[in-house]
Chain A
């Protein structure tokens, strides 16, 4: 039984999380923690956030029963939480709206963020445009090359995109560069971190802003089915959509929670991003959690067809849920995720993001053997951003 769905005072979920940062970063983290504590107890903050979520982002999102998909599989019935229908195309906007309100309360006029695939960068650029804030997004040069369209979207929204040329030139290096900017410019700058990762209070705060996903889904499910789902599926990179979905269900011990990591090409170190398949506890970018690393404690390179899952560490609350046995974590290969995207597109008319396809793939894999059960899958984003990758991998459709 889970005992620690809220972190302790130091931001620990069981042994994980905490604050592992150089002393210079402690002051900004403490400032943020205090500001968030005040905001979360202020009804005016929640009122404004709820208004933005509804009238700007498009909440509540639909809960869709995927009947054709379920019939084709001939087993469990599958419901889909449609976070893909949100403004900017993914759940990321939930957290960005919460944090931009917080940044404004803290008197910051500049926002920085990291991005991998560009979804969090686009969502950050969007809220900065909406609130008239200066916006700088750090992005690995390799990711900029792979995601040119999102780079252009961010620039169209008025953001400055800074290419990061250190290390592997991907998400991990973009986070480090954003942290370096933050520590240098903290007086006027808020770091809008995009996942349930990093140092306290980020994992808790980002989770809180996404917990609307699980709250809505649970109520919608009860209304439609008169009971709770048997199993809830979500993909896990850092883990923000998954923790937003899972958190509301943690106390419902009859509900199985399944997180799906990126199995990549195979489970050799460097070829995947499945932290529970080869990772071990360690410290990266301010947080203690499961991380993919080599025998010398150097952080490993990762691979996934889905850039949003391509990160070496999993969020600390997931690490604790895994240790306590409250949630299970499996992985899904690039190929299975691509196949699931085709299946969902053709049975339900929904083209999913590659990240979300990982969750879908696991539900599809299990459904045939679980007749009588009802599944809930978090469809965290839509597939528009991945069209080039789909085209590359489904060449026969692209004559």
Chain B
């Protein structure tokens, strides 16, 4: 278990037999100042780990909801430096674990050595690089880990056993299991591919396993909470931000959905 806030949070929850709620929002959507308040709302609602999305112009793995979030954030001037400053502001009053969630290019442009140092200084706990395949990831993993940060990788239902082994080796903190083939976005029901993937990944690692992609409501969170260590929700939260941006309800609505999801996840373990 890694000794970051991420690793420690999963360990605490495991001891209590509780699943973690991992909440994704795009930093800077609608503005970086809002993000600080929105993370506080997520935390009040019961989120255990925050995935702070770094907006990118060409997000090939994302569906329309998160894509639009990134467009709004870039239009409002969010940069990687701004996202790190935002993390530092969150850290002034919160110990919630923060995972930076980014496509490679903005990180490369910033420089990995500098990123590792600055992210650590800002109170970030780990980095997930969406488009870093395990074949290409080694140098980045090394730099980020040496700074004392976690690296989280994605596993997919179509990943071969060889690839799952590499995902396990390069991951720390937790492993992010993509519940189905496709892009991010809410679905009517949880994919039948999720459970076999949890079983397959478990053969390669003792790290906590969090399942995401397509989880939108309490019932989905309950189903995932039953079979995995963590439930990842993104698009459903970003959709609330999109809908209520600029209104006084934005934070309370986000907090409400988060609480529903967390309650659902907990019910997955209630029996």
Residues on A facing B (Cβ under 8 Å): 10, 18-28, 30, 166-167, 172-173, 176, 179-180, 183-184, 186, 280-286, 288, 291, 293, 295-299
Contact = CB atoms under 8 A, between A and B. Distances in A.
Given A282-B105, A283-B103, A298 B136 contact: no
A280 B57 CA distance: 16
Contact of B110 (A18, A24, A26, A297): A297
A23 B154 contact: yes
Contacts of B158: 24, 26-28
B133 A297 contact: no
Given A167-B58, A296-B80, A20 B109 contact: no
A20 B182 contact: no
Given A20-B131, A23-B178, A283 B156 contact: no
Interface in B145-166: 153-156, 158-160, 163
Contacts of B57: 167, 298-299
Nearest to A27: B158
25 contacts: A10-B135, A19-B133, A23-B134, A23-B153, A23-B156, A24-B156, A27-B158, A28-B158, A30-B160, A176-B59, A176-B60, A183-B182, A281-B108, A282-B108, A283-B108, A284-B105, A285-B60, A286-B60, A293-B105, A293-B109, A296-B80, A296-B81, A297-B80, A298-B56, A298-B74
Contacts of A21: 60, 131, 133
B195 interface: no
- Of the listed residues B106, B107, B109, B167, the one surrounded by the most CB atoms of chain A closer than 10 A to its CB is B109
Contacts of B81: 296
B107 A27 contact: no
A23 B167 contact: yes
Pick the 6 closest A-B CB pairs, nearest first. A297-B109, A27-B158, A297-B106, A22-B61, A184-B182, A296-B79
A177 to B, nearest CB: 9
Interface in B123-140: 130-136
Contacts of A293: 105, 109
Given A172-B58, A297-B80, A23 B106 contact: no
Contacts, number: 117
A167 B59 CA distance: 10
Q: Which of B57, B81, B104, B110 has the most CB of A within 10 A?
A: B57
B71 interface: yes
B134 to A, nearest CB: 8
A293 B74 CA distance: 14
A18 B134 CA distance: 11
Nearest to A281: B108
Contacts of A296: 79-81, 106, 109
B136 A18 contact: yes
B183 interface: yes
B131 A24 contact: no
Contacts of B153: 23
Given A24-B61, A184-B183, A296-B80, 6 more contacts: A23-B153, A23-B163, A167-B57, A288-B136, A296-B109, A297-B108
Contacts of A295: 109
A10 B134 CA distance: 11
Contacts of B74: 298
B132 A285 contact: no
Given A282-B109, A297-B110, A186 B58 contact: no
A335 B61 CA distance: 38
B154 A22 contact: yes
Nearest to A199: B133
B181 A184 contact: yes
A166 B160 CA distance: 32
A372 to B, nearest CB: 46
Interface in B98-115: 103-110
A26 B181 contact: no
B63 A180 contact: yes
B116 interface: no
Contacts of A23: 133-134, 153-156, 159, 163, 167, 178
A26 B104 contact: no
